[in-house]
Amino acid sequence: MRPAAGSRSLPVLFLTVFIDLVGFGIVIPLLPVYAERFHATPFQAGALIAVYSLMQLVFAPVWGRLSDQLGRRPVLLVSLAGSAVSYLLLAGAWSVGTLFAARILAGIAGANIPVAQAYIADLTEGAERTRGMGLIGAAFGLGMVLGPALAGALASFGPRVPELFAAGLCFVNVGLAARRLPESRPADRSRTTSFRHPLSPGAVREALAPPGAARLLGVFFLVTLSFAVLYGTFSLAAEQRYGCAEVGCADRQVAVFWVYMGLVGVVVQGWLVGRLARRLPERSLVLAGIGALAVGFFWVPFATQLPSLLAALALVVTGQGLASPSLSSLISRTADAEVGPAVRRRRCAGPARCSGGLAFVLAFR
C-alpha cells in the first residue's frame, strides 16, 4: 500500500465524487416536471428515475472489472465524461425517448462509486481505509443535500439551466480528475484490490450473516424506498397544487420547495444528527427518524396550506436525515467484532447502498 499517496489523493477523490453527485442531485428533482412537458405518463415519469438506478446496478460490475484491467483513473475519467454528455443530452431533449436515453447514459456513467471505493482500497489500509470509505459516504450525503437546493436556485433562471450547469460541473470534474487524480493501481497487480459486486452471492451472504443484519438492511431499504417515492412524485404534485400559468413560474415554485428541503437537510445532517448522536443511542435516532417520516408522509397529502406543507416536509427530511445515517452506522456494527471496522464497512456498506438503489428502482415500477 501507499499511505502517503493515499493521503494526498483522498481529498481529490472526495471532491471528484462530491461534484459528480451534486450533478445527479441537481437534475433528479426536476425530472418528473420535464417528463410532464413531453406528455409522459405517470409511469414513464417515475421510470425516468428508476432506470438510472437500474443501470447503476447493472453496470457497476462492468466498470469494476474494467478498472481491474485498465486502471481506476481511466475508468473514472470516462464515467465522469459520460455524465457530462448525459446532462447535455437531457438539456437538449426533444421527446420522452431522448429523456430516457439521457437517463440511461447517466446511470451507466454514474455506476462509478464502486470504482472510487476500489481506488481507496488500493491506496490505504487499516484506519486510513475506514476514513476513506467514510469520505465516499459523506460525499454522497452532501451531494444529495446540496444538489436539489442548487436545482431550486438554478431553475429560476430558465428550464434548461440546471442541466447545463450540471454538465458544466462534470466537465470541470473531468479536468480536475485528469490533472490531480493519479492512478491508484500498483505496478504489481497482485497487490491490487479486485472488484467484487456488493450484491454478489458472497458479499450478500457476508452482509446478512451477523445477527440482526437482515432486519437492519430491510429497514434501511424501506426508509430509502419511502424517500425515493418523494423524489419521484413531489415535483409534479407541487407543480399541480402551487404552479401558475406564467412560463417558468412552475419551475420556480417547485424549486422553492427543493431549496427549502435542501436547507433543512443541511441543518439536520450537518448539525442536529451530530448533537443528538452524542446524547442518544443510534437505535433511538432510527426510531425517531422513522416516526418523523411516518407522520410527515401522512401529513403531506392533507396539507392544503403552504405553512402546513412546509412543516410536513420538514418532518420528512428530518426523519430521513436521522434514520439513514444511524441505520448505516448500525449496519456497520453488525459484523463480528474481531474482523475490525474496515472489514465491517466493506462487508455491509456495499449491500446497504445497493439496497438503496433497488429501492429507487422499485419505487417507480
Identify the pLDDT of residue 342. 45
Task: Kindly report which listed range (44-53, 64-73, 105-114, 244-253) carries the lowest average pLDDT score.
Answer: 244-253
| pLDDT(345) > 50 | no
Residue 190, C-beta contacts closer than 8 angstroms, at least 6 positions apart: none
Q: Cα–Cα distance between 182 and 193 in angstroms, integer? A: 16
Q: Please state, as a whole number, how many other Cβ atoms lie within 10 Å of the Cβ of residue 92.
A: 12
pLDDT in tens, 182-201: 877 666 554 445 555 555 55
5/225: higher pLDDT: 225
Nearest to 31 by CA among 237, 256, 224, 235: 235
Identify the pLDDT of residue 88. 94
| pLDDT(1) > 50 | no
Q: Cα–Cα distance between 196 and 228 in angstroms, integer? A: 26
Q: Positive or negative CA dihedral for 304, 233, 141, 90?
A: negative
| pLDDT(22) > 70 | yes
The residue behind cell 475506514 is 130
Rounded to an integer, what is the distance from CA 304 to the centroid of its chain?
30
| pLDDT(361) > 90 | no
Q: Positive or negative CA dihedral for 340, 343, 347, 353?
A: positive
Give me the count of residues in the chain. 365
CATH code 1.20.1250 for 198-365: yes
341/115: higher pLDDT: 115
Task: Kindly report which listed range (130-144, 293-307, 327-341, 351-365) carries the lowest average pLDDT score.
Answer: 351-365
Identify the pLDDT of residue 171. 92
Q: Where in the chain are the domains?
A: 1-188, 198-365
Nearest to 15 by CA among 222, 118, 169: 169
Task: Give the cell for residue 353.
Answer: 447502498
Q: How confident is the model over 309-314, as a mean pLDDT?
A: 92
Contact between 219 and 283 under an 8 Å Cβ cutoff? The reply is no
Q: How confident is the model over 124-145, as a mean pLDDT?
A: 68
Superfamily (CATH H level) for 1-188: MFS general substrate transporter like domains (1.20.1250.20)
Q: How confident is the model over 76-84, as a mean pLDDT?
A: 91
Q: How confident is the model over 68-83, as a mean pLDDT?
A: 89
Identify the pLDDT of residue 61. 79
| 1-188 against 198-365: fold identical | yes
- Most confident range, picked from 56-60, 202-206, 354-358: 56-60
Burial class (CB in 10 A: 0-12, 13-18, 19+), 25: buried
Looking at every residue in the chain, the average pLDDT score rounds to 75
Residue 354, C-beta contacts closer than 8 angstroms, at least 6 positions apart: 57, 198, 199
Q: Cα–Cα distance between 113 and 238 in angstroms, integer? A: 32
The residue behind cell 443528538 is 276
Identify the pLDDT of residue 147. 82
Rounded to 10 deg, the angle between the 306-332 and 213-242 helix axes is 160
Contact between 123 and 72 under an 8 Å Cβ cutoff? The reply is no
Q: How confident is the model over 90-100, as a mean pLDDT?
A: 90
- pLDDT bracket for residue 152 (50, 70, 90): confident
